[in-house]
Structure 1
Amino acid sequence: MVFITRGLHDALLDMASEAEPERVTVVLATTPAGEFEEELDVASETPVLSHFYMPEAGQSVRAVFGMDLGTPAGRGRAKFVSHPQGPAEPTREDDFAAAVLVAVPPWDAESVAAFDRSGKRLSLDVLDADPPKESLVGD
Protein backbone atom coordinates (compact mmCIF):
# COMPACT_ATOMS: atom_id res chain seq x y z
CA MET A 1 0.00 0.00 0.00
CA VAL A 2 1.14 3.55 -0.78
CA PHE A 3 0.15 6.46 1.47
CA ILE A 4 0.10 10.08 0.27
CA THR A 5 -1.07 13.33 1.84
CA ARG A 6 -4.07 14.98 0.21
CA GLY A 7 -2.10 18.21 -0.26
CA LEU A 8 0.63 16.47 -2.26
CA HIS A 9 -1.92 14.39 -4.19
CA ASP A 10 -3.84 17.51 -5.24
CA ALA A 11 -0.68 19.49 -6.06
CA LEU A 12 0.56 16.72 -8.36
CA LEU A 13 -2.77 16.61 -10.21
CA ASP A 14 -2.63 20.40 -10.61
CA MET A 15 0.91 20.16 -12.07
CA ALA A 16 -0.20 17.47 -14.51
CA SER A 17 -3.24 19.48 -15.60
CA GLU A 18 -1.19 22.66 -16.13
CA ALA A 19 1.50 20.82 -18.12
CA GLU A 20 -0.94 19.06 -20.45
CA PRO A 21 -0.31 18.05 -23.24
CA GLU A 22 3.26 17.59 -21.96
CA ARG A 23 4.15 14.82 -19.53
CA VAL A 24 5.33 15.54 -15.98
CA THR A 25 7.80 13.48 -13.95
CA VAL A 26 8.27 14.43 -10.31
CA VAL A 27 10.47 12.82 -7.63
CA LEU A 28 8.56 12.29 -4.38
CA ALA A 29 9.81 12.14 -0.79
CA THR A 30 8.31 10.61 2.31
CA THR A 31 7.83 11.47 5.97
CA PRO A 32 7.41 8.69 8.56
CA ALA A 33 3.80 8.57 9.80
CA GLY A 34 4.99 9.02 13.40
CA GLU A 35 6.34 12.51 12.61
CA PHE A 36 2.91 13.91 11.68
CA GLU A 37 1.15 16.03 14.30
CA GLU A 38 -2.13 14.27 13.57
CA GLU A 39 -2.57 10.69 14.73
CA LEU A 40 -2.55 8.59 11.56
CA ASP A 41 -4.13 5.16 11.45
CA VAL A 42 -0.86 3.53 10.28
CA ALA A 43 2.32 2.33 11.99
CA SER A 44 4.64 5.18 13.00
CA GLU A 45 7.47 3.99 10.73
CA THR A 46 5.22 3.82 7.65
CA PRO A 47 6.47 6.15 4.90
CA VAL A 48 3.88 8.70 3.75
CA LEU A 49 4.46 10.57 0.48
CA SER A 50 4.45 14.17 1.61
CA HIS A 51 6.83 16.29 -0.52
CA PHE A 52 8.14 16.62 -4.03
CA TYR A 53 11.32 17.93 -5.61
CA MET A 54 10.88 20.57 -8.28
CA PRO A 55 11.10 18.90 -11.70
CA GLU A 56 13.38 21.68 -13.01
CA ALA A 57 15.96 21.38 -10.21
CA GLY A 58 19.28 20.17 -11.58
CA GLN A 59 17.88 19.82 -15.12
CA SER A 60 20.84 21.44 -16.89
CA VAL A 61 23.37 19.22 -15.08
CA ARG A 62 21.24 16.16 -15.87
CA ALA A 63 21.13 17.14 -19.56
CA VAL A 64 24.92 17.45 -19.81
CA PHE A 65 26.20 14.79 -17.42
CA GLY A 66 23.20 12.47 -17.00
CA MET A 67 23.22 12.91 -13.22
CA ASP A 68 20.26 13.98 -11.09
CA LEU A 69 21.57 16.62 -8.68
CA GLY A 70 18.09 18.02 -7.99
CA THR A 71 17.27 15.17 -5.59
CA PRO A 72 19.26 14.78 -2.36
CA ALA A 73 21.08 11.45 -2.01
CA GLY A 74 18.97 8.74 -0.42
CA ARG A 75 15.71 10.53 -1.18
CA GLY A 76 13.09 10.11 -3.81
CA ARG A 77 12.24 6.42 -3.88
CA ALA A 78 8.90 7.27 -5.47
CA LYS A 79 7.92 9.11 -8.63
CA PHE A 80 4.82 10.72 -10.05
CA VAL A 81 4.32 10.65 -13.82
CA SER A 82 1.49 12.03 -15.90
CA HIS A 83 0.32 10.42 -19.11
CA PRO A 84 -1.88 13.00 -20.89
CA GLN A 85 -2.69 10.54 -23.69
CA GLY A 86 -2.60 7.40 -21.50
CA PRO A 87 -2.04 4.64 -20.63
CA ALA A 88 -3.06 4.56 -16.95
CA GLU A 89 -0.04 2.42 -16.06
CA PRO A 90 3.76 2.74 -16.14
CA THR A 91 5.49 2.57 -19.51
CA ARG A 92 9.07 1.89 -20.60
CA GLU A 93 9.63 5.64 -20.94
CA ASP A 94 8.95 6.24 -17.23
CA ASP A 95 11.80 6.42 -14.73
CA PHE A 96 11.07 3.55 -12.40
CA ALA A 97 11.27 3.80 -8.63
CA ALA A 98 10.13 1.69 -5.68
CA ALA A 99 6.67 3.22 -6.21
CA VAL A 100 5.36 5.00 -9.29
CA LEU A 101 2.17 7.05 -9.24
CA VAL A 102 0.61 7.42 -12.69
CA ALA A 103 -2.10 9.97 -13.50
CA VAL A 104 -4.22 10.40 -16.61
CA PRO A 105 -6.93 12.92 -17.55
CA PRO A 106 -9.36 14.14 -16.26
CA TRP A 107 -6.84 14.71 -13.41
CA ASP A 108 -9.18 13.79 -10.55
CA ALA A 109 -8.83 11.44 -7.58
CA GLU A 110 -9.84 8.42 -9.66
CA SER A 111 -7.18 9.18 -12.31
CA VAL A 112 -4.20 8.33 -10.09
CA ALA A 113 -2.92 4.80 -9.54
CA ALA A 114 0.14 3.43 -7.74
CA PHE A 115 2.46 0.69 -9.01
CA ASP A 116 5.60 -1.05 -7.80
CA ARG A 117 8.78 -1.12 -9.89
CA SER A 118 7.62 -4.26 -11.73
CA GLY A 119 4.34 -2.61 -12.77
CA LYS A 120 2.11 -4.42 -10.26
CA ARG A 121 -0.76 -2.20 -9.08
CA LEU A 122 -0.68 -1.14 -5.42
CA SER A 123 -3.41 0.32 -3.22
CA LEU A 124 -3.22 4.12 -2.88
CA ASP A 125 -4.52 5.68 0.33
CA VAL A 126 -4.91 9.49 0.42
CA LEU A 127 -4.54 10.81 3.97
CA ASP A 128 -6.06 14.07 5.22
CA ALA A 129 -2.93 15.09 7.10
CA ASP A 130 -0.32 17.81 6.85
CA PRO A 131 3.38 16.94 7.10
CA PRO A 132 5.34 18.47 9.98
CA LYS A 133 6.46 22.05 9.47
CA GLU A 134 10.06 22.38 8.37
CA SER A 135 12.38 25.35 8.60
CA LEU A 136 15.76 26.24 7.14
CA VAL A 137 16.51 28.22 10.28
CA GLY A 138 17.20 26.37 13.55
CA ASP A 139 14.51 26.62 16.24
Structure 2
Amino acid sequence: MVHITRGLRDALLEMASESEPERVSVVLASTPAEEFEPALALDPETPVLTHFYLPETGGSVRAVFGMDLGTPAGRGRARFVSHPQGPAEPTREDDFAAAVIVAVPPWEPSSVAAFDRSHKRLSLDVVDADPPNESLASE
Protein backbone atom coordinates (compact mmCIF):
# COMPACT_ATOMS: atom_id res chain seq x y z
CA MET A 1 0.00 0.00 0.00
CA VAL A 2 1.13 3.55 -0.78
CA HIS A 3 0.06 6.45 1.46
CA ILE A 4 -0.13 9.99 0.06
CA THR A 5 -1.50 13.20 1.53
CA ARG A 6 -4.57 14.63 -0.16
CA GLY A 7 -2.74 17.94 -0.65
CA LEU A 8 0.15 16.31 -2.51
CA ARG A 9 -2.17 14.24 -4.70
CA ASP A 10 -4.19 17.33 -5.60
CA ALA A 11 -1.05 19.40 -6.31
CA LEU A 12 0.30 16.67 -8.61
CA LEU A 13 -2.99 16.48 -10.52
CA GLU A 14 -2.96 20.26 -10.95
CA MET A 15 0.64 20.16 -12.19
CA ALA A 16 -0.25 17.42 -14.69
CA SER A 17 -3.27 19.35 -15.93
CA GLU A 18 -1.27 22.56 -16.40
CA SER A 19 1.53 20.71 -18.24
CA GLU A 20 -0.74 18.89 -20.69
CA PRO A 21 0.01 17.85 -23.44
CA GLU A 22 3.53 17.44 -21.98
CA ARG A 23 4.27 14.67 -19.51
CA VAL A 24 5.27 15.38 -15.92
CA SER A 25 7.77 13.27 -14.00
CA VAL A 26 8.73 14.29 -10.47
CA VAL A 27 10.46 12.62 -7.55
CA LEU A 28 8.34 12.26 -4.43
CA ALA A 29 9.51 12.28 -0.83
CA SER A 30 7.89 10.85 2.24
CA THR A 31 7.52 11.71 5.90
CA PRO A 32 7.22 9.00 8.59
CA ALA A 33 3.70 8.74 9.99
CA GLU A 34 5.02 9.39 13.51
CA GLU A 35 5.90 12.99 12.56
CA PHE A 36 2.28 13.99 11.85
CA GLU A 37 0.16 15.78 14.43
CA PRO A 38 -2.41 14.74 15.25
CA ALA A 39 -1.09 11.18 15.03
CA LEU A 40 -2.11 9.12 12.03
CA ALA A 41 -3.69 5.70 12.46
CA LEU A 42 -0.63 4.08 10.86
CA ASP A 43 2.48 2.32 12.11
CA PRO A 44 4.85 5.13 13.23
CA GLU A 45 7.50 4.28 10.62
CA THR A 46 5.07 4.07 7.69
CA PRO A 47 6.18 6.47 4.93
CA VAL A 48 3.53 8.93 3.78
CA LEU A 49 4.21 10.75 0.50
CA THR A 50 4.14 14.45 1.35
CA HIS A 51 6.46 16.43 -0.99
CA PHE A 52 7.83 16.57 -4.51
CA TYR A 53 11.07 17.89 -5.97
CA LEU A 54 10.78 20.30 -8.87
CA PRO A 55 11.85 18.58 -12.09
CA GLU A 56 13.87 21.59 -13.29
CA THR A 57 16.20 21.61 -10.28
CA GLY A 58 19.66 20.48 -11.33
CA GLY A 59 18.52 19.94 -14.92
CA SER A 60 21.61 21.37 -16.63
CA VAL A 61 23.97 19.23 -14.54
CA ARG A 62 21.83 16.17 -15.25
CA ALA A 63 21.91 16.93 -18.98
CA VAL A 64 25.71 17.19 -19.05
CA PHE A 65 26.85 14.69 -16.42
CA GLY A 66 23.83 12.43 -15.94
CA MET A 67 23.67 13.22 -12.22
CA ASP A 68 20.42 14.21 -10.53
CA LEU A 69 21.23 17.06 -8.16
CA GLY A 70 17.58 18.02 -7.78
CA THR A 71 16.93 15.20 -5.31
CA PRO A 72 18.77 15.12 -1.97
CA ALA A 73 20.73 11.92 -1.34
CA GLY A 74 18.67 9.17 0.24
CA ARG A 75 15.35 10.74 -0.75
CA GLY A 76 12.88 10.08 -3.52
CA ARG A 77 11.94 6.44 -3.43
CA ALA A 78 8.72 7.22 -5.27
CA ARG A 79 7.91 9.02 -8.51
CA PHE A 80 4.85 10.67 -10.01
CA VAL A 81 4.32 10.50 -13.78
CA SER A 82 1.50 11.85 -15.90
CA HIS A 83 0.43 10.21 -19.13
CA PRO A 84 -1.67 12.75 -21.10
CA GLN A 85 -2.36 10.19 -23.84
CA GLY A 86 -2.41 7.14 -21.54
CA PRO A 87 -1.91 4.42 -20.56
CA ALA A 88 -3.09 4.43 -16.95
CA GLU A 89 -0.08 2.34 -15.91
CA PRO A 90 3.73 2.65 -15.91
CA THR A 91 5.57 2.40 -19.22
CA ARG A 92 9.15 1.50 -20.13
CA GLU A 93 9.94 5.22 -20.42
CA ASP A 94 9.10 5.89 -16.77
CA ASP A 95 11.98 6.08 -14.33
CA PHE A 96 11.04 3.46 -11.79
CA ALA A 97 11.30 3.93 -8.09
CA ALA A 98 9.97 1.71 -5.32
CA ALA A 99 6.52 3.15 -6.08
CA VAL A 100 5.26 4.92 -9.19
CA ILE A 101 2.13 7.08 -9.03
CA VAL A 102 0.51 7.41 -12.48
CA ALA A 103 -2.20 9.88 -13.49
CA VAL A 104 -4.15 10.24 -16.72
CA PRO A 105 -6.81 12.69 -17.92
CA PRO A 106 -9.28 13.95 -16.84
CA TRP A 107 -6.86 14.66 -13.94
CA GLU A 108 -9.32 13.69 -11.23
CA PRO A 109 -8.66 11.69 -8.06
CA SER A 110 -10.15 8.60 -9.69
CA SER A 111 -7.52 8.80 -12.47
CA VAL A 112 -4.56 8.23 -10.11
CA ALA A 113 -3.08 4.80 -9.41
CA ALA A 114 0.02 3.40 -7.68
CA PHE A 115 2.32 0.64 -8.95
CA ASP A 116 5.46 -1.13 -7.82
CA ARG A 117 8.61 -1.74 -9.93
CA SER A 118 7.02 -4.83 -11.45
CA HIS A 119 3.99 -2.84 -12.66
CA LYS A 120 1.81 -4.53 -10.02
CA ARG A 121 -0.99 -2.23 -8.95
CA LEU A 122 -0.84 -1.15 -5.31
CA SER A 123 -3.55 0.23 -3.06
CA LEU A 124 -3.40 4.03 -2.81
CA ASP A 125 -4.43 5.42 0.57
CA VAL A 126 -5.17 9.15 0.58
CA VAL A 127 -4.41 10.64 3.99
CA ASP A 128 -6.36 13.69 5.15
CA ALA A 129 -3.49 15.35 6.99
CA ASP A 130 -1.00 18.11 6.45
CA PRO A 131 2.69 17.26 6.64
CA PRO A 132 4.60 18.61 9.63
CA ASN A 133 5.92 22.14 9.31
CA GLU A 134 9.54 22.29 8.29
CA SER A 135 11.93 25.15 8.78
CA LEU A 136 15.55 25.89 8.14
CA ALA A 137 17.59 25.49 11.27
CA SER A 138 19.08 28.78 12.44
CA GLU A 139 22.47 28.89 14.02
TM-score, reference length from structure 1: 0.98
1:103 equivalent in alignment to 2:103 = yes
Cα-to-partner distance string for 1:1-53 (whole Å, 9 max, x where unaligned): 00000110000000000000000001000000000012211111100000110
CA distance in 2, matches of 1:66, 1:105: 31
Deviations 1:34-86 (A, max 9, x none): 00012211111100000110111011111111110100000000000000000
Residue 78 of structure 2 corresponds to 78
* Mapped pair 1:19 → 2:29: no
Instruction: After TM superposition, give the deviation of residue 120 of structure 1 in Å.
Output: 0.4
Moved over 3 A (4+): none
Q: Normalized against structure 2, the TM-score is what?
A: 0.98
Structure 2 gaps of 5+ residues are none
| 2:4 partner SS | strand
Amino acid at match of 1:111: S
SS, match of residue 18 in structure 2:
helix
Q: Secondary structure at the match of 1:42?
A: coil
| Secondary structure of the structure 1 residue equivalent to 2:126 | strand
What residue in structure 1 maps to residue 112 of structure 2?
Answer: 112
**Corresponding pairs, count:** 139
Cα root mean square deviation, aligned: 1.0
SS in 1 for 2:56: coil
